[in-house]
Chains A and B, each alone.
Chain A
Amino acid sequence: MALTLAFAALHYGSTWSTSSDVLAALVGRGDEAFVILNWRLPRVTAALAFGAALGLAGALFQNLTRNALGSPDVIGLDTGAYTGALVAITLLGGGAGMLQASSVLGGLAAAAAVYVLSAGRSGLSGLRLIVVGIAVNAILTAVNSWIVLRAELDVAIAATGWSAGSLNGVDWDELVVPLSVLGALAIVLAGLAHTMHQAALGDDVAVTSGVRLDRLRLLLVATGVGCTATVTAVAGPIVFIALAAPQIGRRLAREAGVPLLPAALAGAVLLLAADLTAQVLLAPTALPVGVVTTALGGCYLIWLLMVEVRRR
C-alpha cells in the first residue's frame, strides 16, 4: 500500500504526469525526469521515512508508558525540539548541523523534564505523564511564541510556517543527514527488539530472564527522542502520526502489544497520505502537512476517547 501511494504521489505536482512518464523518469529518462526525481521523489521519500520514524517513536513511547496516548507529541517532545531549533535559528544563527543538534537536545531536555516531573512514588502513571506533558507543552509553546515575537520579521515568518510542520520544498541535500541518522537509529532498534519483547512480558519476568530494564528503557527513550527530534529539525513538528500509527499498525497486524514494524509502515502511509491531502486540498496552495495531521489526529484522539468511554 505504501508503494502504491508513493507511486501515486510521484504523479502529482503542479501538474499531473502520466504513469508512463513517471516510470520512465524513475529509470532516468523522459521529459519530466528532473521534476520527478529532484522535486517529488525527495518529498515522497521524506514523507515515507519521517512517517516511519514517527510511527516507531510513537510505538516506543506507547510501549514504555503502556498507554495508547503516550506518544512523543502528546508529551511535549515535538515542542521541545522546536524550541531547540528556534534557539539555534534566532540566537546562535547556526547552520543545518547546529539546528539539528540543538533540536535533538531540546527534545531530550523536554522529555527528561516530563519524565522527572511525572515520576512519583507510585512509579510512572500513564495519564499523569500525559497531563504533565500537556503542561510542559504549554510552557514550551509560550517560550516558543516569545522567541518568535522577539525575532526579526522574516525569521518569524519562516519559523511560523515551519511550526505547522511542512514538507514543502524538501530536497535531497537536506535529506542526507536525517536519513542516515534515522537509518542508524533503526539499526539500534533492530538490535533491541528481542530484549524489548522480553521486557513486554512484564517487569518481573523480564528481570528474571536477565533484561536490564533501566538501561533498556533509557536506550529506548533515547532512540524515540532521536527519531522525533530528527524529523522535527527538518520538517517542523508534525503531530499525531506518532499517536495514531502504532494503534493502526497494531490493529492491522493483529498482534498484542505495540509491534514496531507495522507501526513504522502505518506511519509512513499516514504521513504520505496526509501530505498528499495537504497538497490537493486547497490546490494550488500547498498546506503544511502538519495542519492536516493536527486536524485529523485530534479527531482520532477524540474518537479514541469515545471508544474508551463506551467500553466502560
Chain B
Amino acid sequence: MRRTARTDQLLFLTVALVVLLGALLAGVAVGARSVAPAEVWRALFDYAGTDDHVVVRDLRLPRTVFGVCVGAALGVSGALIQTVSRNPLAEPALLGLTAGAGFAINVGVLAGLAGTQLGQLGLAVVGCAVASVIVYAVGRTSPLRLLLAGVALTAVLMGISLGLRLTFPDVFDRYRFWSVGALAGSERIPLTVPVVVVALSLAGALLMSRPLSTLALGEDVARGLGAHVGRTRAVVLLLVTVLAGTATAVAGPVAFVGLIVPHLARRIAADSVPWLLVHSLVVGAVLLVVADVGARLLLPTGEVPVAVVTAFLGGPVLIWAVRTFEAAS
C-alpha cells in the first residue's frame, strides 16, 4: 500500500516535471515576436547575436527563470503558511504580506533606500514580517477572520501607497508597472541574488518538512512527540516571509498563486507534508510560467501583467475553496 502511494507520488512528480519542461520551452519560445523553433534552439545553444537570439536569450530566458523562481517561492510559501496556520484559506497576498512588502518598498523609494537590489529585498522582507505580525495578532481566532484582517490591512496599505504615488508621481513613475505585479521588465534585474535567496529558502523549507508534518498533527500531539513547536513555527514563518518578500520584490504583488497551488498539490500529496511542499514547488513554477506566457499573448498590442492573469484564475479557486472548506467544517 505504502509502496504504491509512493510510486504514485513519484509518477506524478515526473509528469509535473515534464509539464514544467514544456512550460519552460513555451516560456522561451512563445511571445509577441514569433521566433521559429529552430532559431530558438540555435539562440540557446549556438548564440549568434541576431535580433531573434537577443529576444530569446536575453529577454525570455531570464524572464522564464524568474517565473520559475517566483512561482516556486509563492507556491511553497502558500503551502507552508497553510500548513502551519492550519488554515486552508491562508495565502501570502490575501493575508496582506505582499501588500506589506510592496508598501515597505514604496516607503523605501521615498526615503531613498531602495536603490540597490539587496536594499529592495531587505525592505520587502521587513514589510512582510511586520504585516504578518499585525494580521496574525488581529485575526488569529478564525481562518475567515484572519483572511479579513489581511484584506483590511491590504486596503490600508494600498490606500496610503496610492496617496503617496499620486503625491510624488515622479518618484513612483518607475514603480508603476512593478505595482501591478508583472514579470515584464524583470530581465533587466540581475538574476543572481533573488535566485540564490529563493533556492536557499526552498531548500530550507524542504528541510523543515519533517518537523512541519509533526506539527500538522496538532500542537498537543506534536509536543507529546517531543517536537519544538515554537521553534518550528518561527523558522517556518521566517521562510514564508523571505519567500513571499523576495517574490514580491521581483515581480510585484502577485496574488492567489500561494492559494491555488497548495490546493492543487494537496489533491495529489494527500496528507504528506514533504510531498505537498515538493509538488507545490513544481506546480507553482508551472502555473506562473504558463500564466506569464498567457499574459504575453492576451493582448495583441502588448502585455497583461501576470498578476492580472493569476487573479483572474485565483478568484474562482478562492470561491471554490471557501465553499468546500465550509462544507467540511
Contacts and interface: CB of A to CB of B under 8 A. Distances in A.
Interface of A: 69, 117, 120, 125, 127-128, 130-132, 134-136, 138-139, 141-143, 145-146, 149-150, 161, 164, 239-240, 282, 285, 287-288, 290-295, 297-299, 301-302, 305-306, 308-309, 312
Contacts of B139: 305, 309
A183 to B, nearest CB: 30
B240 to A, nearest CB: 21
Nearest to A301: B152
A142 B308 contact: yes
A127 B315 contact: no
A298 B315 contact: no
Nearest to A285: B167
Q: Which of A117, A135, A295, A299 has most B Cβ within 10 Å?
A: A135
A138 B256 contact: yes
B140 A132 contact: no
Contacts of A138: 255-256, 311, 314-315, 318
Interface string B126-159: 0000000010001111001101110111111111
Interface stretch (B31-39, B188-196, B273-281, B298-306): B298-306
Interface of B: 89, 94, 134, 138-141, 144-145, 147-149, 151-160, 162-163, 166-167, 180, 255-256, 298-299, 301-302, 304-305, 307-309, 311-312, 314-316, 318-319, 322-323, 326-327
A144 B79 CA distance: 29
B311 A141 contact: yes
A29 B299 CA distance: 56
A308 B319 contact: no
Nearest to B300: A150
Given A135-B316, A142-B311, A305-B139, A128 B156 contact: no
A240 B319 CA distance: 22
19 contacts: A131-B147, A132-B322, A135-B314, A135-B315, A136-B319, A139-B315, A145-B180, A149-B302, A290-B159, A292-B163, A294-B158, A295-B163, A297-B159, A298-B159, A301-B151, A302-B153, A302-B156, A305-B138, A309-B140
A240 B322 CA distance: 23
Interface SS of B by simple majority: helix
Contacts of A131: 89, 144, 147, 318-319, 322
Contacts of B159: 290-295, 297-298
A312 B304 CA distance: 45
A307 B157 CA distance: 21
Nearest to A290: B159
Given A69-B148, A132-B318, A291-B163, 7 more contacts: A139-B315, A142-B312, A287-B163, A291-B160, A297-B155, A299-B156, A302-B153
Contacts of B315: 135-136, 138-139, 142
Contact of A294 (B140, B162, B318): B162
A125 B326 contact: yes
A161 to B, nearest CB: 8
B156 A130 contact: no
Contact of A134 (B307, B316, B318): B318
A287 B149 contact: no
Contacts of B299: 149-150
B304 A135 contact: no
B322 A128 contact: yes
A139 B147 contact: no
Contacts of B94: 134
Q: Which of B158, B307, B311 has most A Cβ within 10 Å?
A: B311
A135 B318 contact: yes
A128 B323 contact: yes
A130 B318 CA distance: 12
Q: Which of A125, A138, A150, A164 has most B Cβ within 10 Å?
A: A138
Contacts of A69: 148
Q: Which of B139, B151, B323 has most A Cβ within 10 Å?
A: B151
A120 B154 CA distance: 28
A70 B261 CA distance: 29
A298 B156 contact: yes
Contacts of A143: 312
